[in-house]
Structure 1
Amino acid sequence: MSWLIYGLLSALFASFVAILGKIGIQNVDSNVATAVRAVVMAVATLLFITFNGTIGHIREISMRPLLFIILSGLAGAASWMFYFGALQQASASKVAPIDRLSIVFTLVLAALFLKEKVNLGMVAGCALIVIGSVLIVKA
Protein backbone atom coordinates (compact mmCIF):
# COMPACT_ATOMS: atom_id res chain seq x y z
CA MET A 1 0.00 0.00 0.00
CA SER A 2 1.17 3.54 -0.69
CA TRP A 3 1.81 6.18 1.94
CA LEU A 4 -1.30 8.03 0.78
CA ILE A 5 -3.60 5.06 1.44
CA TYR A 6 -1.96 4.57 4.84
CA GLY A 7 -2.40 8.28 5.56
CA LEU A 8 -6.07 8.25 4.57
CA LEU A 9 -6.72 5.15 6.68
CA SER A 10 -4.93 6.85 9.58
CA ALA A 11 -7.21 9.87 9.21
CA LEU A 12 -10.31 7.66 9.02
CA PHE A 13 -9.39 5.72 12.15
CA ALA A 14 -8.40 8.95 13.93
CA SER A 15 -11.95 10.16 13.35
CA PHE A 16 -13.20 6.98 15.03
CA VAL A 17 -10.95 7.80 18.00
CA ALA A 18 -12.84 11.06 18.47
CA ILE A 19 -16.31 9.58 18.04
CA LEU A 20 -15.81 6.37 20.02
CA GLY A 21 -13.72 8.17 22.65
CA LYS A 22 -16.38 10.83 23.16
CA ILE A 23 -19.00 8.14 23.71
CA GLY A 24 -16.67 6.10 25.94
CA ILE A 25 -15.59 8.84 28.32
CA GLN A 26 -19.09 9.72 29.48
CA ASN A 27 -18.95 9.41 33.28
CA VAL A 28 -15.37 8.04 33.10
CA ASP A 29 -12.22 9.88 34.15
CA SER A 30 -10.43 10.88 30.95
CA ASN A 31 -7.03 9.81 32.31
CA VAL A 32 -8.34 6.36 33.20
CA ALA A 33 -9.95 6.08 29.76
CA THR A 34 -6.65 7.04 28.15
CA ALA A 35 -4.80 4.38 30.16
CA VAL A 36 -7.29 1.71 29.09
CA ARG A 37 -6.94 2.85 25.49
CA ALA A 38 -3.14 2.67 25.73
CA VAL A 39 -3.26 -0.90 27.06
CA VAL A 40 -5.62 -1.94 24.27
CA MET A 41 -3.35 -0.31 21.70
CA ALA A 42 -0.25 -1.99 23.13
CA VAL A 43 -1.87 -5.43 23.12
CA ALA A 44 -3.28 -4.94 19.61
CA THR A 45 0.07 -3.75 18.30
CA LEU A 46 1.96 -6.64 19.89
CA LEU A 47 -0.54 -9.09 18.39
CA PHE A 48 -0.12 -7.46 14.99
CA ILE A 49 3.67 -7.70 14.96
CA THR A 50 3.49 -11.25 16.33
CA PHE A 51 1.17 -12.40 13.56
CA ASN A 52 3.10 -10.64 10.80
CA GLY A 53 6.36 -12.13 12.08
CA THR A 54 8.22 -8.94 12.96
CA ILE A 55 8.20 -9.14 16.77
CA GLY A 56 11.81 -10.37 16.73
CA HIS A 57 12.91 -7.08 15.21
CA ILE A 58 12.43 -5.39 18.59
CA ARG A 59 15.81 -6.77 19.68
CA GLU A 60 17.47 -5.15 16.66
CA ILE A 61 16.66 -1.57 17.68
CA SER A 62 19.83 0.22 18.75
CA MET A 63 19.94 2.71 21.63
CA ARG A 64 19.62 6.02 19.73
CA PRO A 65 16.55 5.01 17.70
CA LEU A 66 15.09 3.38 20.82
CA LEU A 67 15.50 6.63 22.76
CA PHE A 68 13.62 8.59 20.11
CA ILE A 69 10.92 5.93 19.84
CA ILE A 70 10.47 6.12 23.62
CA LEU A 71 10.32 9.91 23.51
CA SER A 72 7.78 9.67 20.68
CA GLY A 73 5.72 7.31 22.84
CA LEU A 74 5.81 9.76 25.74
CA ALA A 75 4.72 12.58 23.42
CA GLY A 76 1.92 10.36 22.11
CA ALA A 77 0.80 9.54 25.64
CA ALA A 78 0.72 13.24 26.53
CA SER A 79 -1.25 13.94 23.36
CA TRP A 80 -3.82 11.27 24.24
CA MET A 81 -4.17 12.53 27.80
CA PHE A 82 -4.86 16.06 26.60
CA TYR A 83 -7.07 14.83 23.73
CA PHE A 84 -9.35 12.81 25.99
CA GLY A 85 -9.34 15.65 28.53
CA ALA A 86 -10.48 18.03 25.80
CA LEU A 87 -13.13 15.55 24.59
CA GLN A 88 -14.53 15.39 28.09
CA GLN A 89 -15.04 19.16 28.08
CA ALA A 90 -16.08 19.87 24.48
CA SER A 91 -17.75 18.31 21.48
CA ALA A 92 -15.75 16.00 19.22
CA SER A 93 -16.47 18.30 16.28
CA LYS A 94 -14.64 21.11 18.08
CA VAL A 95 -11.77 19.11 19.60
CA ALA A 96 -10.79 17.27 16.41
CA PRO A 97 -10.05 20.38 14.30
CA ILE A 98 -7.93 21.83 17.09
CA ASP A 99 -6.08 18.51 17.40
CA ARG A 100 -5.42 18.61 13.65
CA LEU A 101 -3.45 21.80 14.16
CA SER A 102 -0.72 19.24 14.83
CA ILE A 103 -0.21 19.42 11.05
CA VAL A 104 0.91 23.04 11.39
CA PHE A 105 3.10 22.28 14.40
CA THR A 106 4.63 19.31 12.58
CA LEU A 107 5.49 21.41 9.54
CA VAL A 108 7.24 24.02 11.70
CA LEU A 109 9.08 21.44 13.83
CA ALA A 110 10.09 19.39 10.76
CA ALA A 111 11.57 22.52 9.19
CA LEU A 112 13.44 23.42 12.39
CA PHE A 113 14.70 20.01 13.52
CA LEU A 114 14.67 17.83 10.40
CA LYS A 115 15.64 20.62 7.99
CA GLU A 116 12.69 19.75 5.73
CA LYS A 117 12.03 22.33 3.05
CA VAL A 118 8.98 24.57 3.37
CA ASN A 119 7.46 26.23 0.33
CA LEU A 120 4.72 28.78 -0.24
CA GLY A 121 2.12 26.09 -0.92
CA MET A 122 2.83 24.44 2.42
CA VAL A 123 2.58 27.74 4.26
CA ALA A 124 -0.69 28.54 2.47
CA GLY A 125 -2.03 25.09 3.33
CA CYS A 126 -1.15 25.56 6.98
CA ALA A 127 -2.82 28.97 6.99
CA LEU A 128 -5.97 27.38 5.57
CA ILE A 129 -5.86 24.67 8.25
CA VAL A 130 -5.64 27.32 10.97
CA ILE A 131 -8.46 29.35 9.40
CA GLY A 132 -10.57 26.22 8.95
CA SER A 133 -10.01 25.13 12.53
CA VAL A 134 -11.00 28.55 13.86
CA LEU A 135 -14.13 28.63 11.65
CA ILE A 136 -15.22 25.16 12.78
CA VAL A 137 -14.67 25.92 16.46
CA LYS A 138 -16.56 29.22 16.24
CA ALA A 139 -19.49 27.71 14.28
Structure 2
Amino acid sequence: MWWIYALLSALFAALTAIFAKIGVENVNSNLATAIRTIVVLIMIWLIVIVKNEVRGITELGTRNWVFLIISGLATGISWIFYFKALQMGEVSKVAGIDKLSLALTIIFAIIFLNEELTWKTAVGASLIIAGTLFLIWK
Protein backbone atom coordinates (compact mmCIF):
# COMPACT_ATOMS: atom_id res chain seq x y z
CA MET A 1 0.00 0.00 0.00
CA TRP A 2 2.94 2.37 0.65
CA TRP A 3 3.72 2.58 -3.07
CA ILE A 4 0.22 3.90 -3.82
CA TYR A 5 0.87 6.78 -1.43
CA ALA A 6 4.28 7.31 -3.01
CA LEU A 7 2.73 7.46 -6.50
CA LEU A 8 0.09 9.92 -5.26
CA SER A 9 2.89 11.98 -3.73
CA ALA A 10 4.68 12.04 -7.09
CA LEU A 11 1.47 13.03 -8.88
CA PHE A 12 0.79 15.93 -6.52
CA ALA A 13 4.44 16.99 -6.54
CA ALA A 14 4.22 17.25 -10.32
CA LEU A 15 1.03 19.30 -10.07
CA THR A 16 2.68 21.44 -7.40
CA ALA A 17 5.48 22.33 -9.79
CA ILE A 18 3.09 23.29 -12.57
CA PHE A 19 0.77 25.32 -10.33
CA ALA A 20 3.72 26.98 -8.56
CA LYS A 21 5.34 28.01 -11.85
CA ILE A 22 2.10 29.70 -12.90
CA GLY A 23 1.54 31.21 -9.44
CA VAL A 24 5.05 32.63 -9.02
CA GLU A 25 4.84 34.64 -12.24
CA ASN A 26 5.39 38.34 -11.44
CA VAL A 27 5.45 37.57 -7.70
CA ASN A 28 8.36 37.67 -5.26
CA SER A 29 9.39 34.04 -4.78
CA ASN A 30 9.67 34.40 -1.00
CA LEU A 31 6.15 35.83 -0.80
CA ALA A 32 4.89 32.96 -2.96
CA THR A 33 6.60 30.46 -0.66
CA ALA A 34 5.07 32.11 2.41
CA ILE A 35 1.57 31.93 0.92
CA ARG A 36 2.04 28.28 -0.01
CA THR A 37 3.34 27.52 3.47
CA ILE A 38 0.27 29.07 5.13
CA VAL A 39 -2.01 26.95 2.94
CA VAL A 40 -0.08 23.79 3.82
CA LEU A 41 -0.07 24.71 7.52
CA ILE A 42 -3.83 25.25 7.65
CA MET A 43 -4.58 22.15 5.57
CA ILE A 44 -2.51 19.72 7.64
CA TRP A 45 -3.66 21.10 11.00
CA LEU A 46 -7.29 20.74 9.88
CA ILE A 47 -6.58 17.10 9.00
CA VAL A 48 -4.88 16.47 12.36
CA ILE A 49 -7.74 18.10 14.28
CA VAL A 50 -10.54 16.40 12.31
CA LYS A 51 -8.89 12.99 12.71
CA ASN A 52 -8.29 13.71 16.43
CA GLU A 53 -4.57 13.06 16.05
CA VAL A 54 -3.48 16.17 17.96
CA ARG A 55 -3.50 14.19 21.22
CA GLY A 56 -0.32 12.44 20.04
CA ILE A 57 1.63 15.67 20.52
CA THR A 58 2.06 14.90 24.22
CA GLU A 59 3.82 11.64 23.36
CA LEU A 60 6.64 13.33 21.45
CA GLY A 61 10.05 13.15 23.06
CA THR A 62 12.88 15.67 22.83
CA ARG A 63 14.51 13.70 19.99
CA ASN A 64 11.25 13.80 18.02
CA TRP A 65 10.92 17.56 18.50
CA VAL A 66 14.54 18.28 17.56
CA PHE A 67 14.49 16.25 14.38
CA LEU A 68 11.01 17.40 13.32
CA ILE A 69 12.11 21.02 13.78
CA ILE A 70 15.32 20.43 11.81
CA SER A 71 13.28 18.68 9.10
CA GLY A 72 10.90 21.64 9.00
CA LEU A 73 13.80 24.05 8.60
CA ALA A 74 15.24 21.94 5.79
CA THR A 75 11.81 21.86 4.11
CA GLY A 76 11.49 25.63 4.35
CA ILE A 77 14.95 26.22 2.92
CA SER A 78 14.23 23.73 0.13
CA TRP A 79 10.98 25.51 -0.74
CA ILE A 80 12.68 28.91 -0.79
CA PHE A 81 15.29 27.70 -3.29
CA TYR A 82 12.72 25.71 -5.28
CA PHE A 83 10.43 28.70 -5.78
CA LYS A 84 13.35 30.94 -6.73
CA ALA A 85 14.52 28.34 -9.26
CA LEU A 86 10.97 28.01 -10.62
CA GLN A 87 10.75 31.76 -11.04
CA MET A 88 13.99 31.87 -13.00
CA GLY A 89 14.00 28.57 -14.90
CA GLU A 90 11.91 26.13 -16.88
CA VAL A 91 9.65 24.03 -14.68
CA SER A 92 10.60 20.81 -16.51
CA LYS A 93 14.27 21.36 -15.73
CA VAL A 94 13.82 22.71 -12.20
CA ALA A 95 11.54 19.84 -11.18
CA GLY A 96 13.88 17.33 -12.81
CA ILE A 97 16.92 18.66 -11.01
CA ASP A 98 14.95 18.81 -7.76
CA LYS A 99 14.57 15.03 -8.03
CA LEU A 100 18.32 14.75 -7.42
CA SER A 101 17.09 14.79 -3.83
CA LEU A 102 16.22 11.12 -4.29
CA ALA A 103 19.81 10.16 -5.07
CA LEU A 104 21.05 12.34 -2.20
CA THR A 105 18.50 10.73 0.13
CA ILE A 106 19.79 7.29 -0.83
CA ILE A 107 23.37 8.37 -0.06
CA PHE A 108 22.36 9.98 3.26
CA ALA A 109 20.25 6.93 4.24
CA ILE A 110 23.28 4.69 3.74
CA ILE A 111 25.57 7.01 5.73
CA PHE A 112 23.27 8.08 8.57
CA LEU A 113 20.65 5.32 8.82
CA ASN A 114 22.84 2.35 7.88
CA GLU A 115 20.47 1.32 5.11
CA GLU A 116 21.73 -1.31 2.71
CA LEU A 117 22.80 -0.31 -0.79
CA THR A 118 21.52 -2.83 -3.32
CA TRP A 119 22.73 -2.92 -6.90
CA LYS A 120 19.27 -1.81 -8.09
CA THR A 121 19.32 1.20 -5.78
CA ALA A 122 22.88 2.07 -6.82
CA VAL A 123 22.00 1.90 -10.52
CA GLY A 124 18.84 3.93 -9.99
CA ALA A 125 20.67 6.63 -8.03
CA SER A 126 23.42 6.72 -10.65
CA LEU A 127 20.86 7.21 -13.42
CA ILE A 128 19.24 10.05 -11.48
CA ILE A 129 22.61 11.73 -11.01
CA ALA A 130 23.42 11.25 -14.70
CA GLY A 131 20.01 12.65 -15.66
CA THR A 132 20.53 15.68 -13.47
CA LEU A 133 23.93 16.36 -15.00
CA PHE A 134 22.37 15.95 -18.45
CA LEU A 135 19.66 18.52 -17.61
CA ILE A 136 22.13 21.17 -16.40
CA TRP A 137 24.83 20.52 -18.99
CA LYS A 138 24.98 23.20 -21.67
- TM-score normalized with structure 1 length: 0.94
Alignment length, in residue pairs?
138
Output the CA distance in 1 between the equivalents of 2:137 and 2:16. 22
CA contact (8 A) 2:97 2:135 kept: no
The percent of aligned pairs where both chains have the same amino acid is 43
Alpha-carbon distance, 1:57 to partner = 1.1
- Separation of aligned partners in 2, 1:136 and 1:92: 12
Amino acid at match of 1:108: I
Which amino acid counterpart does residue 132 of structure 1 have in structure 2? G
Q: Are 2:123 and 1:124 equivalent residues in the alignment?
A: yes
Return the alpha-carbon distance in structure 2 between the equivalents of residues 134 and 22 of structure 1. 22
SS of 2:19 mapped into structure 1: helix
- 2:87 is aligned to 88
Query: 1:97, 1:137 within 8 Å by CA — same for their partners in 2?
Result: no
User: Any conservation in 2 of the 1:19–1:92 contact (CA below 8 Å)?
Assistant: yes
Question: For 1:26, what is the secondary structure of its paired residue?
Answer: coil
> In the alignment, is the contact (CA less than 8 A) between 1:25 and 1:88 conserved in 2?
yes
Q: Tell me if the contact between 2:30 and 2:80 (Cα under 8 Å) persists in the aligned partners.
A: yes
1:80-101 deviation line (CA, Å, top 9, x unaligned): 0000010000011010110000
Contact (CA 8 Å) 1:18, 1:92: kept in 2 or not?
yes
Rounded to whole Å, the distance in 2 between the matches of 1:109 and 1:46 is 29
SS of 2:115's equivalent? coil
Q: Is residue 115 of structure 1 aligned with residue 114 of structure 2? A: yes
Q: Provide TM-score, normalisation by structure 2.
A: 0.94
Q: How far apart, in 2, do the equivalents of 1:22 and 1:68 lie?
A: 30
CA drift at 1:110 = 0.5
Report the aligned-residue RMSD. 1.4
Q: Which residue of 1 aligns with 2:40?
A: 41
**Structure 1 segments of 4 or more deviating over 6 A?**
none
8 Å CA contact 1:26–1:88 kept in 2: the answer is yes
